[in-house]
Structure 1
């Protein structure tokens, strides 16, 4: 994985010790990075690495794979997790925060085929699913109780179903994710802290805004 500064033209690696592959899939305005990696056992887990070097491993309880695909400025992460393998595999979207853990989000027309790959600072999400005819359809959703997004077809389907995780997610800070720069004129990104002490998630952009879907 890597980050790239478009103004300075500088690359920086994002690596995880022991991983055979790393994908940096999203970055917010604070330089927090979300993505996924293949661990030493061959399983795929998501991660959130803050700009100050704290790293969370995101593994949805009971899932065969977890991929983080988006992150907003309040460190709300979205992505997809897979349950089962082969023809029995089902994919579900999720949202995650350091303070609240995982919540499952499925489009009602794509139960078991939903992926979420974007979230803004209001908690609005976008993604896609496979419908009953085998077509891939995009969707946008807002938190429950919020007005529909302007310019989009609204209220044509039920709100996405949600269910919080019943198990404690893996959110332990990692100490094995050094960030090493490629050859460039800039300093490297900060290295991972070894014993972060705070687990408080950033404040919501709107305290009255629901956090469920």
Structure 2
């Protein structure tokens, strides 16, 4: 079964919009795990507009499943990850002012930098993953960085799938197979939803984990968080 890691950034956004501590981010993380979620993902950004750096520390003692911290490996982020020591760190090349992640790494251009950062994390027993576009040459470059896994950036798939273009899955399937052949684990995330997750899962070889936040939280407004978590779990079996 592919593991479901729930990104709780949107819970933090809602909390921050009014100040105070409602909804309680730590309680939501606990609840997601009790509902069957197999991981918690956060993506702190330098302006702390949703997840605050303190949240990353506070969640460390709360998360009992897999704890995944995503972000651009600027010095402050690296310091945070080394202090918290999550299960996994996912490196994402997002600009400081980006609304959301919008591209994967050029693993050839940034190979030296990625190798250095990944080596430091792995020396501290933190599993590493890098966010990549579904391009075969990029996967080959990823294998040369020493990373444990890749995370396929799935926005284009989700957009094309919504238009009825199921052939958009092929580059992702090809890249996943290449990654496996090169000894890398395969994760995926971005705009995956209840509408497309089962098709994606069924067509991606060796898919270990998906990280889903925006769609899952949005769907939960109508259907309830516990119900939606279990709907994803059912589709991922």
Shared fold (TM-score greater than 0.5)? no
Instruction: Please report the TM-score for the alignment, with normalisation by the length of structure 1.
Output: 0.25
When normalised by structure 2's length, the TM-score is: 0.24
Decide which structure has greater helix share: 2
- Between structure 1 and structure 2, the one with the greater Rg is 1
From the two aligned structures, give the one with the greater strand fraction: 1
